[in-house]
Amino acid sequence: MSIQTLIVGLPAPKPLRLGETALFLDLDGTLAPIAARPQDVRPDPRRTSLLERLALSLDGRLAVISGRTLADIDRILEGCVVAVAAVHGLVRRDPDGQVFESRPHPALGYATEALRAFAARDTGLIVEEKAGLSVALHFRLARDQAEAARALARALAAETGLALQDGDMVEELRTPGASKGDSVRAFMVMPCFAGARPVFVGDDTTDEDGFEAAQALGGMGVMVGAHRATGARFRLADVDAALAWLEAAS
């Protein structure tokens, strides 16, 4: 990944020109507000309708790329997006509906048990298992445990060889393999995406690979949220701003 810089006053993106765009969207913090518990994010008629319109206008050049499982993405988006990369790219469903999954890391069960034992100390700690490929420890509801949670995740990654994925009030241990950037590149060689200009919209450091991949292919990255160090070239203030920007194009 390229070195990220903090650009104060990062500009808002110009209106989307859907005829030339391949659109890649993160979910949490981009299409849906961050919730204290992952399960609290639910379907939303405004979001579903928007994605249905975008899929039609883009002639299928739309994909959601998220850290969530495929089943959870389909639950939240009511199955309205076919092309999906889940678990940060370890699971991919192509536009024709074919699903490809990475093989799970053998130490994932051990790491899951260690995180569950740690989570027993505070009811605000949440362990989220992701399709047998990854496990996340959320501490948004137990912020005083953040330092200890990060230290444990780093130690487990070093011990097991699992990949450590830092996020917004979450530490994730995942099977090493495809990233969000790899997912963008995989989609962009498919016939319905090929030749379009990739635009990746995301909010978290987990989206930086996606920004980099889109920009390397002649497109752009759009960060959602407060200013931070990023490789994206444009920024939208929050989820409502992101939805409004997408709605203006649809």
Positions marked active-site: 26
* CA–CA separation, 145 and 167 (whole Å): 15
Helix (H), strand (E) at residue 135: strand 134-138
Give the pairing of strands 170-174 and 134-138. Answer: antiparallel
* CA–CA separation, 48 and 6 (whole Å): 33
Report residue 76 as tokens.
Answer: 């939240």
Q: Considering only CA atoms, which of 93, 61, 77 is closest in space to residue 27? A: 77
> What would you measure as the largest C-alpha separation in the chain, in angstroms?
52
| 142 and 126 Cβ atoms separated by less than 8 Å | no
Reduce the DSSP state of residue 97 to 3 states and report it: coil
| 169 and 138 Cβ atoms separated by less than 8 Å | yes
List the Cα angle 26/32/37 in 5-degree steps.
Answer: 105
Reduce the DSSP state of residue 95 to 3 states and report it: coil
Q: Output the CA–CA distances (angstroms, integers) from residue 138 to 118, 196, 207, 213, 224, in the order listed.
A: 11, 36, 18, 27, 21
* CA–CA separation, 78 and 73 (whole Å): 8
